[in-house]
């Protein structure tokens, strides 16, 4: 039966989504085209109807995963983001988690076009995490961007270090707990200062 253009587009999107999940779980070299297509419910031969190479799929799947990561971060306050991100649930949920934390190490060894996808995706994630109205420009806005970069880098590093430990290692949890505490401390302090400033004087 002839596949319609709309169905072909749906099939391609499904392959990309499947690839994004499997790459996050196993890395780019941890899953082959045949296994990936089988997981998506298609034959190996159908791959080249959609993509020129595995490298093309890697770039497209990464862009899709990075976009999803930014979308999930949009609207979250800093403390809410840290609580959700630097968590055992995220640490264990590789397939559904952040593409940056799952694949940055792999991406660093890939061709420039894939690393460009990461640079774009990380920029979009930073934008999603910036407070409304924060735009590059004056000193205060640049300082705010620096704080977001610092928070994101520490959060990603916490997940990557924790995942490098055995699943049942006490150190895996200790890393998450220590990093989450250090990331939240200034945020809680800032909120306390703001609350005190807003409280009526006795």
pLDDT at 4: 84
Q: Which residues contact 39 (CB under 8 A, 6 or more apart)?
A: 18, 22
- Please state the pTM of the whole predicted model: 0.85
Model confidence band, residue 1 (pLDDT cutoffs 50, 70, 90): low
Output the average pLDDT for the chain.
88
Distances (CA, A) of 91 to 7, 110, 121, 176, 188: 35, 24, 20, 9, 23
Per the CB < 8 A criterion, the answer to whether 21 and 96 are in contact is yes
Per the CB < 8 A criterion, the answer to whether 65 and 24 are in contact is yes
**Which whole number is the average pLDDT over 140-153?**
92
Residue 190 has pLDDT above 70, yes or no: no
- pLDDT tens, position by position, 4-17: 888 888 999 999 99
Per the CB < 8 A criterion, the answer to whether 81 and 75 are in contact is no
- pLDDT tens, position by position, 54-108: 999 999 999 999 999 999 999 899 999 999 999 999 999 999 999 999 999 999 9
Per-residue buried b or exposed e for 49-74, using 16+ beta carbons within 10 Å of the residue's own CB: ebbeebeebbbbbbbbbbbbbbebbe
Domains present along the chain, CATH in parentheses: 5-191 (1.10.357.10)
HSE on the CB side for 29, CA within 13 Å?
A: 5
**Which whole number is the average pLDDT over 184-201?**
56
pLDDT at 198: 33
- pLDDT tens, position by position, 168-182: 999 999 999 999 999
């Amino acid at each position: 039966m002839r596949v319609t253009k709309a169905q072909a587009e749906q099939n391609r999107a499904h392959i990309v989504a499947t690839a994004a999940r499997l790459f996050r779980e196993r890395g780019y070299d941890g899953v082959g085209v045949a296994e990936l297509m089988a997981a998506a419910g298609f034959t190996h031969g159908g791959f080249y109807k959609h993509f020129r190479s595995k490298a093309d799929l890697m770039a497209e799947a990464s862009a899709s995963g990075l976009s999803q990561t930014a979308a999930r971060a949009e609207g979250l306050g800093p403390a809410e983001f840290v609580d959700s991100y630097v968590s055992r649930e995220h640490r264990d949920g590789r397939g559904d988690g952040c593409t940056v934390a799952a694949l940055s190490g792999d991406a660093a060894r890939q061709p420039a076009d894939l690393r460009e996808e990461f640079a774009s995706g990380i920029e979009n994630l930073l934008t999603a995490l910036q407070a409304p109205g924060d735009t590059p420009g004056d000193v205060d806005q640049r300082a705010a961007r620096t704080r977001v970069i610092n928070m994101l880098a520490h959060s990603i590093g916490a997940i990557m270090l924790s995942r490098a430990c055995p699943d049942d290692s006490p150190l895996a949890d200790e890393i998450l707990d220590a990093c989450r505490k250090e990331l939240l401390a200034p945020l809680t302090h800032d909120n306390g200062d703001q609350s005190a400033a807003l409280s009526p004087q006795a």
